Structure 1
Amino acid sequence: MSDTRDASELWRIGYKAALFIFTVAESLSSELSITPWYIFSILLYLCTNLLFYVLKKENFRPLVPLLSIGVAIAMFQDHPLMILLLPVHIYELASILIGKQEISSLLLMMPPLLLMPWQLMFLYMLIAAVTLIYFSTLKIYGSKLLGQRAELERMRGDLERLHTRLQENNEFLQQSKYTIKLEERNLLSQDIHDNIGHVMTSVLIQIEAAKRLIKTDMGQASVLLDNAIHISREGIDSIRFDLKKMKPPTEQLGVNRMKLFIDEFSDKYPIRTAFAYEGNMDFISPIHWKIIQENIKEALTNIMKYAGATAVSIHVQVLPTLIKASVTDNGQGKGKIVKGLGIIGMEERAAAVGGKVIVDGSRGFSVTTLLPYTL
């Protein structure tokens, strides 16, 4: 806000300087003689005006316009044109002492008309009108600029608060993820204790009993060993079932990672992004998902740099012998595609598993990755 006040002050100084130069030039071009008193008055007038911007205490500032008005009136007898300097100082005085500057300034500018010759009345009234319009306009635009600065500061404060809240939410999210992992570990530990612990205890009891009977009763010892083997197999099958139940399918891992990546891209950039998939996603191996995601990431980067698009469509499709992943935008496209490092990298990744990449710029910009797979 201080910058706004400084700029307004500079415009005021510029207007006063222009009016002063005009008045002095008109006085010098007239037939009136330039006396030492006139030069002294001019220097005194300049000093009083500079004093207005040097004084820091608001209580003394009204004295400066009064001094300037007094100097201009004193110079009026020898050089009548100096009366033209009164309107700007009358407005300054009214702006400091009275609330409604325009009305009060207009009323205070009228009495000097009674003192001046009729030849100066029109010029004086013109300068008074220009002064009122200029300073009123400066006041209006200064107030608007101050309001815009205040709104900008408010928006900056809101942005900082939102940033702080976002950081807090991210910390809460990380803490929640850590808590979920701890709960999963606790659940896994409990399952291991309930299942594996029970199985191992039963097996150990059977083996200990068989060890004691192996010399005296071979038949019973054999039965106990068979029981231990049977319990061990059931325990192993139970562990495998639990682990299989806990492990997410490959299809869920790949699709969810892709959705997460696309959501992050949509949050960062103002582009509408649609994602669709069809077919049996279980046929897509982890290495295929990695290639697809890397190529889609590179394609989106190229779209952001060169396409000028507002919408992007991502489609992953499992065909009978091929996996097809395409990225298409509604941008300006390009007739001749020049392969840079990004496209070459996509082709090399696809070629590593026997696939290929097709780039087309005829309608928008599209990148299609084709990867073979075996059932």
Structure 2
Amino acid sequence: MEMWVIATKLIIVLYIIIKYIYIEAATYPAEFVAFILLYICINMAYYLADRKNIKKLMLLISIGLLLFSYNHVSYFFVFLVPVNIYEIFSGLITDLFSLIISLSIMMFIKSELIPEYIVILLMSYLISYLAKRSYEKLESLKRKNEELRWKIQDLYIRIDKNEEYERQLKYTTQLEERNRLSQRIHDDIGHTISGSLMQLEASKLLMDRNKDDAKRMIQSTIDTLRNGLESIRIALREIKPPLEQMGLNRLKLVLDDFALKTHISANLKYTGIIDKITYSQWNIIMENVKELLTNAMKYSKATKVSLTIDVLNKFIKVEMKDNGVGTDVVRKGLGLKGIEERCESVGGKVIIDGSNGFSVIFLLPLEGC
């Protein structure tokens, strides 16, 4: 705001100098220059001062100097009075009151100066008013920006806490699962092996004295170990997640992470018997999807990406499509060539289309078909 007021004063001072040169150049030129310089010095002191009392004092001195100059040097100095009055009462009373005070000064100046005085007065107050409103709006925006900054910081803190909670929850879940497995191994496998060892030790002692009892104990031990082995297999089948569940979850995690980082919507659809997809095929799908997501982020300018997996009778159809700009001429870089090489290594094919967004379809043959 001060810059606008300073600019207004400078314009009025230049106007006074020009008017003085053309009308009163022969009258007190030295005093005129001295009072101009003194006025500038007083105003510089006003803008450099820190304490409000000193600043108000500088303004009062400035107005007094202007009134004195009006009576003894040049009538034109009165044109600077409204700006100083506005500065004195700014923040203390309404702008309308300071405008009334400035208008009341017209009763004490020469009539031929009144039209110019009114024009300069209105111009000064209009500029000051606009500057004040702009300053208030800027301060309001700064406050809002500061509030938003604190909210964003608070949001980041909450996100960090949530991530820490998720990591802790994941770690606790792992500990609980390890504890459950440890307890199950101890209860099932440990007891089975311990009992079998005791039976074998007893069979060793009976081997020379009673071979029939020893054979029965050995057979019992074999049955116990066979049952224990079957229990181990059942436990492993219960613990190990289905292959299709692992593959789909990995894909969902990749797509969710991509959407979170790029703000591009990403969704997954699948049909057919997903458990027909083998581990090596899941790896190929995963690597290809990662490469295509990277390309979509760099080049497509898309807002949406969709991944569709269809398990058909003889092959797996995987399509990655976005709604981006596409391309008329597809240039195969290292990424697309890598996708083709991975698919061809298992007898698959790749179809690329850039006419409507960017679409890549790769077909992988089902094993055993």
TM-score normalised over the length of structure 2: 0.96
**2:48 maps to 1:42:** no
The SS at the match of 1:312 is strand
The letter for the 1-side match of 2:306 is S
CA distance in 2, matches of 1:363, 1:93: 67
CA distance in 2, matches of 1:263, 1:149: 35
Deviation at 1:91, TM superposition (A): 0.5
The letter for the 1-side match of 2:326 is G
CA distance in 2, matches of 1:295, 1:131: 68
Deviating more after overlay: 119-128 vs 293-302: 293-302
Partner in structure 1 of residue 65 of structure 2: 71
**2:83 maps to 1:88:** yes
Deviation at 1:67, TM superposition (A): 1.2
Deviations 1:312-361 (A, max 9, x none): 22101112221211111222221111112221121122222222321101
CA RMSD in angstroms comes to 1.4
Partner in structure 2 of residue 192 of structure 1: 185
Deviation at 1:270, TM superposition (A): 2.5
Deviation at 1:111, TM superposition (A): 2.9
The SS at the match of 2:318 is strand
1:32–1:79 contact (8 Å) kept in structure 2:
no
CA distance in 2, matches of 1:36, 1:84: 20
CA distance in 1, matches of 2:24, 2:184: 112
The letter for the 1-side match of 2:259 is S
1:259 to 241, 245, 252: 252
Deviation at 1:174, TM superposition (A): 0.8
Partner in structure 2 of residue 130 of structure 1: 123
Partner in structure 2 of residue 177 of structure 1: 170
CA distance in 2, matches of 1:250, 1:294: 17
**2:324 maps to 1:331:** yes
2:189–2:232 contact (8 Å) kept in structure 1:
yes
Count the aligned residue pairs.
366
Deviations 1:159-199 (A, max 9, x none): 11111111111111111111111111100010011101111
1:315 to 303, 308, 317: 308
Deviating more after overlay: 185-194 vs 52-61: 52-61
CA distance in 1, matches of 2:263, 2:171: 31
Deviations 1:135-160 (A, max 9, x none): 11111111111111111111111111
1:269 to 251, 255, 262: 262
The letter for the 2-side match of 1:82 is F
Identity between Structure 1 and Structure 2 (%) = 38
CA distance in 1, matches of 2:93, 2:70: 29
TM-score normalised over the length of structure 1: 0.94
Deviations 1:97-130 (A, max 9, x none): x321x11211211232122222210110111111
**2:217 maps to 1:217:** no
Partner in structure 2 of residue 62 of structure 1: 56
The SS at the match of 2:228 is helix
Structure 2: tracts of 5 or more residues without a match: none
The letter for the 2-side match of 1:118 is S
Deviation at 1:241, TM superposition (A): 0.6
Partner in structure 1 of residue 290 of structure 2: 297
Deviating more after overlay: 184-193 vs 134-143: 134-143
1:23–1:85 contact (8 Å) kept in structure 2:
no
The SS at the match of 1:216 is coil
Partner in structure 2 of residue 154 of structure 1: 147
1:303–1:329 contact (8 Å) kept in structure 2:
yes
The SS at the match of 1:195 is helix
The letter for the 2-side match of 1:294 is E
The SS at the match of 1:22 is helix
Partner in structure 2 of residue 106 of structure 1: 99
CA distance in 1, matches of 2:281, 2:4: 67
The letter for the 2-side match of 1:85 is L
Structure 1: tracts of 5 or more residues without a match: 1-7
Deviation at 1:308, TM superposition (A): 2.2
The SS at the match of 1:306 is helix
CA distance in 2, matches of 1:50, 1:365: 65
1:76–1:82 contact (8 Å) kept in structure 2:
yes
The SS at the match of 1:320 is coil
The SS at the match of 2:90 is helix
The SS at the match of 2:327 is coil
Partner in structure 2 of residue 3 of structure 1: none
CA distance in 2, matches of 1:186, 1:358: 48
Deviation at 1:32, TM superposition (A): 4.0
The letter for the 2-side match of 1:359 is I
Deviations 1:10-63 (A, max 9, x none): 222122112211111211221342432222211111111111012111111111
Deviating more after overlay: 285-294 vs 146-155: 285-294
CA distance in 2, matches of 1:357, 1:26: 84
1:295–1:369 contact (8 Å) kept in structure 2:
no
